Amino acid sequence: MVRAPYQNSDLNSMRNSEDQRQLLAQAVLHVRSHRATSRRTLADVMRLSPTTAGQYVDHLMAEGLLHEQGLEKGPMGRPKRVLHTRGAAGWFAGIEFNAERIQAVRVDFSGTKTDGRIISLSESATPKAVITEISRLINALAQEAEGTLFGIGVGVPGIVDPVAGIARDYAFIKGWKEVPLARLLHARYGVPVTLDNNLRAIALAERWFGGAGELTDYVILGPRSGFGIAIVIGGRIVTGAEHAAGEIGRWPWAAGGELHDALSSPAVWRRLTGKTKRAGLPADLHGALAALVDQRDDTRAAIVTDYARVLGSLHLLLDTHSYFLHGPLTALGEAFCADITECIRSVVPSLRDKPPRLLRSQLGDDAGALGAASVAMEAWAP
């Protein structure tokens, strides 16, 4: 294999300061993710000369963003001092919401969660009220934070334009259309604000904090108020030409209506409990579903079959490594995922010998907020 040539880019002589910022940001990402644990390994992963990598490290240490400590003994050669990010250098706010609640987390510069908050939203919440509550949560996170607020990431339900920073449409909050959320929050806090669909944010949370750390191809299943998915192929999140990739909840459903009418978390709870489509929801939907974990009847079997058909169809299209179930339906336990996988063998005969791998995510309800903080971390540059 031919090694790529070194980049010889002295920090003081680089003509393009934006290139310099992005390369420094890449260096931090490599150290934060532990892909680079020393100056030597940083040079290797970034295809830099050892001298240039050393200049990057010296600069980032002078800025208080990295530090070296201890010695890492390799199989050959001299021991290397170990590189770390400085958690106390600053922090990122991660916000994620749906029609029922807003989650917020504070993540330090090393990517460690240091605080988390949650508030409920009323059924009559307006876009203005949602933005006010988001600001209140960020202010609460700031009270005991160490260092500077470096950025805000927001996982937004529905269709989002992350380039323009606009939340385009979400059917479950009245009036939530064309909301310039990034601009509004930037005006209040003066830091970069990064938006993305909340399920795409969760996909990053699985990469940084969950079970997808070593995967390049996986899908997030998000049956919550509605039903969307996030698709990762080749390590990249698929967004679509109009930033609407994954909105499978809008698929027409054979029994009438759309897919989310039958398979969202509220719809599944109503089906399992025999409630009407207009019946009110319990205050703790996750807990209410957990109480049904041992239910085994024709209704549950029908829900499992419906999920098997959807997941089987997705797998024939995407052929991905793993599917991670998120949201309140994780309360139905590992058996729910196992039964869906087994059912695929019969309802999608072509997948009988190798059905898709459906996993119940081990992340909690703050996965979206953690993912939003990850979006902000990955977008940050010094």
- Least confident among 7-11, 20-24, 146-150, 272-276: 7-11
Both tokens of 142, joined, read 């700031």
Both tokens of 151, joined, read 């950025």
Domain identity same for 104 and 193:
yes
Residues 182-193: b if buried by 16+ CB within 10 A, e if exposed = bebbeeebebbb
The vertex-13 CA angle with 9 and 14, nearest 5°, equals 55
- Domain stop point among 85, 104, 121: 85
Number of H helices, E strands in the chain: 12, 15
pLDDT in tens, 63-118: 999 999 866 555 555 557 899 999 999 999 999 998 889 999 999 999 999 999 99
Angle at which helices 298-318 and 333-347 cross, to 10°: 70
Domain identity same for 354 and 218:
yes
Tell me how far apart the alpha carbons of residues 24 and 26 are, in angstroms, rounded to a whole number: 5
Residue 9 domain flag: no
The DSSP annotation for 311-377 comes to: HHHHHHHH--SEEEE-SGGGGGHHHHHHHHHHHHHHHSGGGSSS---EEE--S-TTHHHHHHHHHHH
Domain identity same for 233 and 200:
no
**Domain residues for 106?**
90-204+367-379
The pLDDT of residue 198 is above 50: yes
Give the mean pLDDT of 164-192: 96
Tell me how far apart the alpha carbons of residues 129 and 178 are, in angstroms, rounded to a whole number: 15
Tell me how far apart the alpha carbons of residues 325 and 229 are, in angstroms, rounded to a whole number: 10
Domain identity same for 79 and 99:
no
* Other CB atoms within 10 Å distance of the CB of residue 61: 14
- Domain stop point among 26, 59, 85: 85
Domain identity same for 147 and 68:
no
Domain identity same for 349 and 229:
yes
Tell me how far apart the alpha carbons of residues 287 and 289 are, in angstroms, rounded to a whole number: 5
Q: 9 pLDDT band (50/70/90 cuts)?
A: very low
Domain identity same for 218 and 134:
no
Domain identity same for 263 and 296:
yes
117 closest CA partner among 97, 140, 135: 140
Domain identity same for 184 and 233:
no
β-strand 166-169 against 159-161: which pairing, if any?
antiparallel
Residue 1 domain flag: no
Residue 31 domain flag: yes
192 and 151 Cβ atoms separated by less than 8 Å? yes
Residue 3 domain flag: no
Quote the pLDDT of residue 8: 44
Of the chain, the end-to-end C-alpha distance in Å amounts to: 34
Quote the pLDDT of residue 4: 36
Domain identity same for 243 and 331:
yes
Domain identity same for 165 and 276:
no
Domain identity same for 116 and 137:
yes
pLDDT in tens, 111-140: 999 999 999 999 899 999 999 999 999 999
Residue 97 domain flag: yes
pLDDT in tens, 208-257: 889 998 899 999 999 988 999 999 999 999 999 988 899 999 999 998 99
| Amino acid letter, 81 | R
Sheet strands (E) in the chain: 66-72, 80-85, 90-97, 101-108, 113-120, 148-156, 159-161, 166-169, 177-179, 193-197, 218-223, 227-233, 236-238, 322-325, 358-360
Output the domain CATH number for residue 269.
3.30.420.40
Residue 267 domain flag: yes
Q: Domain total for the chain?
A: 3
Residue 6 domain flag: no
pLDDT in tens, 244-303: 899 999 999 998 999 999 999 999 999 999 999 889 999 899 999 999 999 999 999 999
- Domain stop point among 85, 113, 144: 85
Residue 23 domain flag: yes
Output the domain CATH number for residue 56.
1.10.10.10
